[in-house]
Chains A and B, each alone.
Chain A
Amino acid sequence: MNLTLRIWRQRGPEEPGAMTTYEVADVSPDMSFLEMLDTLNEELILRGEEPVAFDHDCREGICGACGVVINGEAHGPERTTTCQLHMRHFRDGDTIDVEPWRSAAFPVVKDLVVDRSAFDRVIGSGGYITAPTGSAPEAHATPVPKAAADTAFENAECIGCGACVAACPNGSAMLFTAAKVVHLNSLPQGGPERERRVLDMVDAMDAEGFGGCTHTGVCTTVCPKGIPLASIATLNREYLRATRKGAA
């Protein structure tokens, strides 16, 4: 099939950008969206133009590196990562708009590449359990109820792609932060740092310039891993609990 792409091109963080139109011919429905961009880039290189920069790595939907907004939707029309979106979901003659994640906390680096290091700083502020190597007790010393383990896992699945922030009209990172807080706070191992973790992570999230949550729920509808909206409720509960307990 033949497609028209309108892609955001921007040379650098301080440069102005614009949507630029490209025609791509002979796209196979079996191609992934990124393979379709690869094809375009091969052509651009041979024409002596700069290929479109985009982040990607594992192309299996787990590393979280890829992610663009396709026709106004983070990761495109299917609930998956951009690398796992296939061209069979488009039709011959379609015009497809491709834009980078938009958020003040994710400045554009080049073309479709954005800087998501804010996420790393949110994790660094408290998204861990302090367990220096060698200090761990025997793994079976603390049984974890299966329900807690399942809740932890469901939230630990977050791949940190940033689609939630990109889709949220407020550029809010609540779902991302909630996923980590719920993962760790659900486990007995996460207990000792439970209050400190949630307070620190929310502070860090705010300091990075993410917006607040207005419960539009769009974050969960684009989340490739299906982190539930209920996690945000749990984050709020944990936060209020920690505030009440006066954790420093």
Chain B
Amino acid sequence: MAEFAPRKRVVRRDSQAMSQWAVAWQQFRKHRLAMFSLYALVVFYLLALFADTIAPYGEAQSFRRGAENRSFAPPTRIYWRDAETGRLSWPFVYPVSASRDLRTLRLVYTEDRTQAYPVRLFVRGHSYVPPPLTLVPPQIRKRLQLNWETDRHLFGVEFPATIYLWGADQFGRDVFGRILFGARISLTIGIFASLISLSLGLVLGGLSGYYGGVLDDALMRFVEVLATIPSLFLLLALRALFPLDVNPSTVFLIVITILGFIRWGPIARVVRGLALSLREEEFVQAARALGGSDARILLRHLLPGTAAYAIVAFSLLIPGFILTEAGLSFLGLGINEPASSWGLMLAVAQEGGIQTFTSRPWMLLPGLFIFVTVLAFNFVGDGLRDALDPKLRT
């Protein structure tokens, strides 16, 4: 049986007993898909953190006027061979010029082969705040006088040539870059919203189960009422409480709060059940007999008992929130321009109707990223569940 496989390793470790977490980690590492997903997620998070440097253009940097119009420009072709000699050369691109096809009224991009522009590494471009500092909110940065900026980008080409690895959107913004910038929002929103849901669920469920009585009745009726309203509609109705046209960072907070609020019910219910059964355990009664306060019993004895469930629930909540955020932004009620999020980018794809599919399929790429991220989180969650709480397996 697979469950007994780690026995060998335990023996090798000079007969010292392993902690619950060490065993869980060992179990988790055997889940190959989960480990692979974990690596993939680490890569995604790193890409999101260094988005400013990796992306050749700024998040809101657009090319849409006159000669430099790049609205829905296709992915830039990168050449590796010299046009005349045919020998391998440093990669270069040709600038494109836009002209309108009078029959279809679409912009057509043609390459101008007269001058080649080499792809350069660590070029100067749009200036930005470098990575570790971007995590500090701008107000605090200003107060602490941390105003370092840099304008180096991993790669880029000289204007008038432009480099779009994955094409451009309606305003001539780089889709590759915006997917990376969008990853910041799509990857963090799920974590914060899950933290809110989980804290609400743990606190309210724990109190409800431990104290019982009127509090329990009232809370559980409220959870029931919440469950009666379809979560999408609850989400939309709650979104209506807040103004739509505010700056992106406020929207970010609003969305996190709302998302956190809609999913705590089921967690509270499970935690309540756990608390109910833990309350009757002998160690809890012993703690009470020894004169432990309610707060102490709740924090030191009941909370650790729900840890395994909490971690698994946390990891399985995240993908759901990523999907919900994408949906909300897709409807135009989530993250707003000029910030980017994967759902918002897909909304552009949808608005384009048939044109999206025939002349700019790259606008669908963010969907692939949502899919892969959610899949990875699901696998990690599955691995965690198998490792921490085999009873919960479905």
A and B interact physically: no
